[in-house]
Amino acid sequence: MAVKLIRLPIATAPMSVARSRLLPALLCLALPFGAMADSADTSTLAIGAGVQRMPSWAGARTHRSDPIPFVDIELPQYGFSLSTEDGLQYDLIRGTHLHGGLYGDYQWGRDHDDLGRLAGKIPTLAPRATGGGYLEWDFSKQLDAGMRLSHDINGAGAYLELYAEWDPPKIGLVEQSLQLRWQAMNGGAMQRFFGITPVSAQALGVPVWQPDTGGELAALEYDLFLPTSQHTGLAASLAYGCLLGDAAASPLVRQYGSRSQFTESLSFVYHF
């Protein structure tokens, strides 16, 4: 089983009660593909659940822990994949090394409970679906690199992610993966997560902040998978991200948060 760990974007705030409803929804979506996955040796169907500790909001120095789902469905014969790591992907380009196609994911916002002492002073953010495309080049079975470009389905935010992933040799039974990524946002997304309106600036006693398009996050992530039986295992993930540019310079981050963003997760996985 390839290492596919839970990775929710560091740039977004953690799940709320609304996110807890995602697990049964994803499981219902995953189960109909079970029979299809059995039809090809290269297919993957894995589901599970775990816990993730992450920043309370994008740029926060405080953290919270939440239950999260684990879903990994890969159907290469149909060019389809769905995972809590990479979102929804459908291949339109199916070359030996080059892959590309449609991409969809979910951009989490921030709830009143996430904001702590900032509650009522800066707005909450509803979650949004995003859609776009991706390109990926497989240098080998262990090394690939690619990009994802997406836009809010209902909103002004646009997002670019460049990434490279390497799977080092196993350590005994333990499978490993290292991923390096760089993320950028347009002005609309930057303003949404890191901007400060005149009303919020007056409430906080800080300057108005109107960030522009640019790099927002550089991150390094280490994932591992430890089999516990023929069909089960433990998946763990540790990620460090550093906010960049206008995101890091936001008074929200400088006075109430931190450029350093840590995310850890642990989940139990069942592989069909």
Alpha-carbon span 70 to 171, nearest angstrom: 23
Q: Give the number of C-alpha atoms closer than 13 A to the C-alpha of residue 106, restricted to the C-beta side.
A: 18
Prediction pTM value: 0.85
- pLDDT above 70 (res 220): yes
- Model pLDDT, residue 86: 84
Task: Give the N- to C-terminal CA distance of the chain in Å, as an integer.
Answer: 10
* 232-245: b (≥16 Cβ within 10 Å) or e: ebbbbbebebebbb
What residue ranges do the domains of the chain occupy?
A: 17-271
- Model pLDDT, residue 41: 54
Mind listing the pLDDT tens digit for each residue in 67-81? Answer: 999 999 999 989 999
Query: What is the secondary structure of 242-263 as a DSSP string?
Result: EE-HHHHHSHHHHHHB-SEEEE
Which of the pair, 152 or 15, is modelled with greater confidence? Answer: 152
Mind listing the pLDDT tens digit for each residue in 165-211? Answer: 999 999 999 999 999 999 999 999 999 999 999 999 999 999 999 99
Name the pLDDT band for 149 (thresholds 50, 70, 90). very high
Residues 237, 7 contacting (CB under 8 angstroms) = yes
- Model pLDDT, residue 153: 96
User: Which CATH fold would you assign to the domain 17-271?
Assistant: Porin (2.40.160)
